[in-house]
């Protein structure tokens, strides 16, 4: 039993890879360069970074409240979903709320999938603009990769909304089997995906605003060290980070997405290694402080029993 759980939850220890990678990078860069960068930080810019980061975090939480409706513990399950997703390969942990009986329903599952696709769409759209506006060696490769993933997202939206596909899949399995129940659940989720399209103008706009706030956070944080980078480079960096983090072997917890973006900033804009090391370290610290403090507030929302869901129409 213990060995099974150890295999099942091995990804919880991925943060050790990130810590080791960061320490190795510091050993090569040198502690003196890191110390010099931190002592020269502009505290006003840094404070603004924290404020904008907090705003982006809660704008996404309010998006979930709008999408799922009031009295559904939307704030709480938002932070639970994002916490689990951050530490899991391929961000599959974002579906963690479905493990809770009170939230194991088609609406929550469908919205988590739709929100993931919306966030990816916003990041990739800005990334395509960013890569198109830059000039560096692998620009066309990255532009093509981002465009290809964008096409896959559009196809995923289309497939998820085709309820008939999941109905036929469910009917292929015997009544009462686990695979039949999964097929029925996917059918219900597909119906909820279709219903969520009515809210796309608002949820899509909120997603785009939150993505732009993410770029502003990066601008302010780099600016606090005297390196306020341009929109194109920041958008390309955010997109590159997301593409690397989406790979099952390199989630955010490994630290690899952060260092990949740092290499882009160093090669294209010449940001010094010491500054990039300080930016990565402070970014991780303030992101966790803002997120986990917000998580604590969101947990208060989970103390209320969610309102029952109305049975969706089958039309």
Res 138: pLDDT? 74
Q: How many whole angstroms separate alpha carbon 15 and alpha carbon 262? A: 18
Res 108: pLDDT? 92
pLDDT digits (tens, 9 = 90+) for 77-127: 999 998 888 777 777 888 889 888 888 888 999 999 999 999 999 999 999
pLDDT digits (tens, 9 = 90+) for 130-158: 988 887 767 778 788 888 888 888 888 88
Q: Is 166 within 8 Å of 190 (Cβ atoms)?
A: yes
Q: Place 15 in a pLDDT band, splitting at 50, 70 and 90.
A: low
Q: Place 265 in a pLDDT band, splitting at 50, 70 and 90.
A: very high
For the chain, give the mean pLDDT: 85
Res 309: pLDDT? 61
**Average pLDDT of 283-292?**
90
Among the ranges given (3-12, 80-89, 240-249), the one the predictor scored with the smallest mean pLDDT: 3-12
Tell which residue, 244, 214, 220, has the closest CA to residue 90. Answer: 244
Q: Is 113 within 8 Å of 125 (Cβ atoms)?
A: no
Given a cut of 50, whether residue 10 has pLDDT beyond it is: yes
Res 21: pLDDT? 73
Given a cut of 90, whether residue 223 has pLDDT beyond it is: yes
Listed in sequence order, the residues at least 6 apart from 36 whose beta carbon sits closer than 8 Å to its beta carbon are 274
Share of the chain above pLDDT 70, in %: 91
Q: Is 244 within 8 Å of 262 (Cβ atoms)?
A: no
* Between 10 and 25, residue with greater pLDDT: 25
Q: How many whole angstroms separate alpha carbon 253 and alpha carbon 233? A: 23
Given a cut of 50, whether residue 5 has pLDDT beyond it is: no
Q: Place 6 in a pLDDT band, splitting at 50, 70 and 90.
A: very low
């Amino acid at each position: 039993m213990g060995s099974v759980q150890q295999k099942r939850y091995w990804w919880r220890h991925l943060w050790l890879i990130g810590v080791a990678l960061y320490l190795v990078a510091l050993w090569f860069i040198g502690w003196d360069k890191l110390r010099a960068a931190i002592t020269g930080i502009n505290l006003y810019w840094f404070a603004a970074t924290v404020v904008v980061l907090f705003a982006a975090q809660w704008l996404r939480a309010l998006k979930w409240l709008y999408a799922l409706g009031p009295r559904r513990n939307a704030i709480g399950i938002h932070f639970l979903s994002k916490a689990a997703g951050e530490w899991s390969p391929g961000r599959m942990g974002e579906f963690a709320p479905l493990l809770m009986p009170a939230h194991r329903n088609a609406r929550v599952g469908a919205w988590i999938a739709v929100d993931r696709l919306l966030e990816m769409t916003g990041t990739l759209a800005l990334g395509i603009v960013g890569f198109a506006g830059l000039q560096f060696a692998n620009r066309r490769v990255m532009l093509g990769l981002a465009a290809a993933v964008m096409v896959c997202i559009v196809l995923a939206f289309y497939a998820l909304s085709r309820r008939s596909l999941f109905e036929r899949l469910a009917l292929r399995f015997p009544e009462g089997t686990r695979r039949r129940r999964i097929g029925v659940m996917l059918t219900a989720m597909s119906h909820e995906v279709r219903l969520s399209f009515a809210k796309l103008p608002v949820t899509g706009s909120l997603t785009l605003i939150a993505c732009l706030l993410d770029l502003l956070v990066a601008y302010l944080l780099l600016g606090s060290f005297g390196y306020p980078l341009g929109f194109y480079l920041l958008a390309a960096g955010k997109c590159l980070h997301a593409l690397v983090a989406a790979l099952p072997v390199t989630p955010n917890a490994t630290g690899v997405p952060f260092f990949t973006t740092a290499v882009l900033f160093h090669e294209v804009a010449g940001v010094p290694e010491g500054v990039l090391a300080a930016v990565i370290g402070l970014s991780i610290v303030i992101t966790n402080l803002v997120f986990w403090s917000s998580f604590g507030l969101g947990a208060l929302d989970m103390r209320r029993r969610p309102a029952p869901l109305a049975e969706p129409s089958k039309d």
